[in-house]
Amino acid sequence: YGIYATADGYLALAMGSVVRLGELLDCPPLAEYTEPQRWFTERDTIKAALAEHLCERPTAYWLARLEPADYWCADVLTWPQLLAHDAFKALRMTQHVSRANGAGLETTRCPIRIDGALLTSPRGAPKVGEHTDEIAREFEL
């Protein structure tokens, strides 16, 4: 249903029963949306009520209410939090690449695996136009 500021961060919520969400969050304004069609036609009003309510408490408080009820939600991590997270580390999603000029940087890798193998490359993206002349010669352009 969106990403919302909490007292100490952000919370992502997926679309689900607005009434059930209101019960889980103890947010009375959501109780009136018993007709699913209204979840779409009055989305902005619902989102405003959620935003006003969710900013009152920390993310962990809301997760503790939603996760046991199997309501899809997630803590929205900052980049440093994501890099430090065990699940992200287990995926080995970062790699070191080098540019043609020797500059190196840490970046994310392709998320696709083929037969379980990671797709990585030590070579960074080319500078705009870096290979234009070479390609023109190769294809006689």
Pair of tokens at residue 82: 């994501």
Domains of the chain (ranges plus CATH)?
2-76 (3.30.1540.10), 83-138 (no CATH)
pLDDT at 132: 96
CB 73 within 8 A of CB 11: yes
What predicted TM-score, i.e. pTM, was given to this entire model?
Answer: 0.75
* Spatial separation of the C-alpha atoms in residues 61 and 50, rounded to whole Å: 15
pLDDT at 58 over 90: yes
* Spatial separation of the C-alpha atoms in residues 102 and 123, rounded to whole Å: 10
CA–CA distance from 49 to each of 41, 81, 126, 131 (Å)?
Answer: 15, 28, 47, 53
CB 120 within 8 A of CB 109: yes
Other CB atoms closer than 10 Å to residue 97's CB: what's the count? 16
Helices 18-25 and 43-54, packing angle to 10 deg = 10
pLDDT at 125 over 90: no
Could you read off the pLDDT of 31-57 as tens digits, one per residue?
999 999 999 999 999 999 999 999 999
